[in-house]
Amino acid sequence: MTHLRSYLFTVLTCVAGLLATMATAQDFDALVASLPDGNFDDRAAVVGQIAASGDDRAVGLLEALSDGELQVLKSDGRLVIVTDVKGVDIAADALTGAEAGVVPRRGASAIRVNNSLRRTIGAAIGILTLSSPDPARRLTAAEAAFRAPDPDQLDLLQTAILDETDPRVSAALKSAIAATTLAGDSTVADKLAAIAILKTQANQAALGILTPLVAAPDAQIAAAAADAVDQIERTQKLWSGAQNVLFGISLGSVLLLAAIGLAITFGVMGVINMAHGELVMIGAYTTFAVQEVIRNSFPFLFDWSLLIAAPLAFLMAGAVGVAIERGCVRFLYGRPLETLLATWGVSLILQQTVRSIFGPNNREVGNPSWMSGAFDIGHLTITYNRLWIFVFALAVFAILLFVMKKTPIGLQMRAVTQNRAMAASMGIRTGWVDAMTFGLGAGIAGLAGVALSQIDNVSPNLGQSYIVDSFMVVVFGGAGNIWGTLAGAFSIGIANKFLEPYSGAVLAKIIVLVCIILFIQKRPRGLFAVKGRAVDG
């Protein structure tokens, strides 16, 4: 570091002197001609002057110098840029660009550069692009100057910002100037102003520049830097917190999708359906099958594949659900443990059936174009598939809520669950309602499968990986309360993502599981328990 400083200092003094006299074209030629002379430090000074000249040829020249392509012809001492064309070295005049023919073996010697010189060259090139007509290149240059602040470039940057019209580049330049000010030996007032500017830049690079300044000899600067570091760290924490919430919401929407069908079968009907995960899997395989047909016969429909698959998956999983209810579950009402075992049996059969039809390996389900890509908000990156799954989960939730609360079938479902005998005597066909309720839960599981096929491997084991999680969500939220499932899914999702940075993904999951287990001890009926006079005998 000290080495870098001392050499920057020499460079600075040379450049400052020369800038005062404004380089001309003749000066440029002379400067270039003087490159081969002297030691590395002299050469660094010349590089600085070349950069400061603002000549159009400077970038190409410096790049060639850095790459060792700037060479001196032994025959006439002319400076040329040597390029390798199909194994033959071709020389071109360094200043005019005129063809200078083939360079014979050992016919030219390169101007030697070492690493520190290469750094100087790099910085100089960065600065030179500041005057590029392309705003994107100027932005890159400004950002480069910010990341590697070089006091020599301060004046250049200050000149550049005066002419800058693009607001983004202008902002980047401002930060770069601040960083550069801090790197050099400007007045305390300037440095304090610079710190204030960097403070608004809540990123790692600003932090990297400011942190060493906390130990600066000047107390004022040290205090300002400490304050700025503090604030930046706070802001960063805020952003990373926001990022975690975002990831958590994303995971939560997946959990919600997986659990929401269970909220009906387990929460509302009180039936433990261990085959729930397999119904999700059926939804995912339905999506796969639909995409296969589309790929083979109607490729133009591919972007619509999920919209086509959704109703089919609902019907498919719903039909399987009705079959499970009629064929098995209905004989076991009031015997939850037996239901658990029987539906586990169903789940094994469904798994093996799918394995026999589609094979044991993962199946590829494609993302339609509107599900791919990402966009930024502030420091956050949001992918479209996560966004759509979130929207989808909420939509499914809203529809479910509507069906349960506002439609006749929903009313009948609630009536049957609350008092079967009374509902039956009111003329409700309880058997039919049971089948429909179970079918609805199963169908929603199928819909979840469509969404999950977009982010997870579609394999016969798909369902297994969600079953424990979805039960946790429903139990945590409080069985019998659909809103509880929503709250449960998002709190578990967010808790998971907040733990992950500290503990890693697997441990986070374990911790969350343990917490839920402990929570259930405390409130056996979940977050939003349906309260009432205890009725157990």
Partner 1 sequence: MGLIDRRMGIFLAGLFILTVAIPVGNLLIDGKPVPSYLVSLFGKYLCYALLAVALDLVWGYCGILSLGHGAFFALGGYAMGMHLMRQIGDRGVYANPDLPDFMVFLNYSELPWFWHGFDMFWFACLMVMLVPGLLAFVFGWFAFRSRVTGVYLSIITQAMTYALMLAFFRNEMGFGGNNGLTDFKDVLGFNLQSDSTRAGLFILSAIALAAGLLIAKAITNSKLGKILIAIRDSESRTRFLGYRVEEYKLFVFVVSAMMAGVAGALYTPQVGIINPGEFSPANSIEIVIWVALGGRGTLVGAAIGAFLVALTKTLLTGWLPEAWLFALGALFIFVTLFMPTGVLGVIESTLRRKPAPKPTQEASV
Partner 2 sequence: MSVQLSLDGVCRSFDGFKAINNLSLTIEKGELRAVIGPNGAGKTTMMDIITGKTRPDEGEVLWNQTVDLTKTDEAGSARLGIGRKFQKPTVFETQSVKTNIALSLKEPRTIWATLFHRSSAAEDARIAELLDLVKLSAVADWMAGDLSHGQKQWLEIGMLLAQDPELLLVDEPAAGMTDAETMRTADLLRSIAGKHTVVVVEHDMDFVRALNCRVTVLHQGHVLAEGSLDHVSANEQVIEVYLGR
Interface with partner 2 by CB under 8 A: which residues? 531-534, 537
Residue with tokens 């000290």: 2
Q: Supply φ then ψ for residue 80, to 5 degrees.
A: -130, 160
86 binds, among partner 1, partner 2, none (CB under 5 to 8 A by kind): none
What long-range pairs does 129-137 form, CB within 8 A, spacing at least 24?
129/59, 130/156, 130/157, 130/160, 130/173, 131/54, 131/160, 135/166, 135/168, 135/169
Question: Looking at beta carbons only, is 86 or 533 nearer to partner 2?
Answer: 533
Is there binding between residue 503 and partner 1 (CB under 8 A)? no
Which stretch, 29-37, 92-100, 186-194, 509-517, contacts partner 1 (CB under 8 A)? Answer: 509-517
Is there binding between residue 101 and partner 1 (CB under 8 A)? no
Q: Which of 136, 293, 341, 530 binds partner 1 (CB under 8 A)?
A: 341
Is there binding between residue 330 and partner 1 (CB under 8 A)? no
Six-digit token string for 106 = 């050992």
Q: Which of 415, 509, 527, 529 binds partner 1 (CB under 8 A)?
A: 509
The whole-angstrom separation of Cα 105 and Cα 18 is 38
Question: Looking at beta carbons only, is 312 or 520 nearer to partner 1?
Answer: 520
Is there binding between residue 331 and partner 1 (CB under 8 A)? yes
532 binds, among partner 1, partner 2, none (CB under 5 to 8 A by kind): partner 2
- Using only the alpha carbons of the chain, give its radius of gyration: 35
Question: Looking at beta carbons only, is 163 or 536 nearer to partner 2?
Answer: 536
Is there binding between residue 507 and partner 1 (CB under 8 A)? yes
Smallest gap from Cβ 140 to partner 1, in A, equals 41
Question: Looking at beta carbons only, is 81 or 354 nearer to partner 1?
Answer: 354
78 binds, among partner 2, partner 1, none (CB under 5 to 8 A by kind): none
Residue 486 region, left (φ>0) first, then alpha (ψ -120 to 50), else beta? alpha
Q: Which of 352, 361, 407, 425 binds partner 1 (CB under 8 A)?
A: 352
Is there binding between residue 447 and partner 1 (CB under 8 A)? no
Smallest gap from Cβ 534 to partner 2, in A, equals 7
Is there binding between residue 347 and partner 1 (CB under 8 A)? yes
Q: Supply φ then ψ for residue 108, to 5 degrees.
A: -145, 150
Neighbouring residues of 414: CB distance < 8 A, sequence distance ≥ 6: 268, 404
Question: Looking at beta carbons only, is 24 or 356 nearer to partner 1?
Answer: 356
340 binds, among partner 1, partner 2, none (CB under 5 to 8 A by kind): partner 1
Number of H helices, E strands in the chain: 21, 7
The whole-angstrom separation of Cα 461 and Cα 465 is 7
The whole-angstrom separation of Cα 298 and Cα 41 is 68
Question: Looking at beta carbons only, is 301 or 511 nearer to partner 1?
Answer: 511
Neighbouring residues of 346: CB distance < 8 A, sequence distance ≥ 6: 274, 275, 278, 324, 328
Is there binding between residue 529 and partner 1 (CB under 8 A)? no
Smallest gap from Cβ 249 to partner 1, in A, equals 23
Smallest gap from Cβ 267 to partner 1, in A, equals 12
Smallest gap from Cβ 537 to partner 1, in A, equals 6
17, 28 contact by CB (below 8 A): no
Nearest to 471 by CA among 274, 322, 318, 307: 274
331 binds, among partner 2, partner 1, none (CB under 5 to 8 A by kind): partner 1
Is there binding between residue 345 and partner 1 (CB under 8 A)? yes
142, 130 contact by CB (below 8 A): yes
Question: Looking at beta carbons only, is 414 or 509 nearer to partner 1?
Answer: 509
- Of residues 369 through 428, those in contact with partner 1 by CB under 8 A are none
Six-digit token string for 169 = 């580049």
Q: Supply φ then ψ for residue 380, to 5 degrees.
A: -105, 145
379 binds, among partner 1, partner 2, none (CB under 5 to 8 A by kind): none
Amino acid present at 128: L
By CB under 8 A, how many residues form the interface with partner 1? 44
- Of residues 252 through 311, those in contact with partner 1 by CB under 8 A are 272, 274
Q: Which of 307, 426, 468, 530 binds partner 1 (CB under 8 A)?
A: 468
- Give the CB-side neighbour count of residue 448, counting CA atoms within 13 A: 32
Which stretch, 54-62, 204-212, 315-323, 507-515, contacts partner 1 (CB under 8 A)? Answer: 507-515
- Residue 84's alpha-carbon distances to 4, 68, 89, 103, in angstroms, are 33, 12, 5, 10
The whole-angstrom separation of Cα 71 and Cα 105 is 13
- Chain contacts with partner 1 (rule: CB under 8 A): 272, 274, 328, 331-332, 336-342, 344-349, 351-353, 355-356, 464, 467-468, 471-472, 475, 506-507, 509-510, 513-514, 516-518, 520-522, 524, 536-537
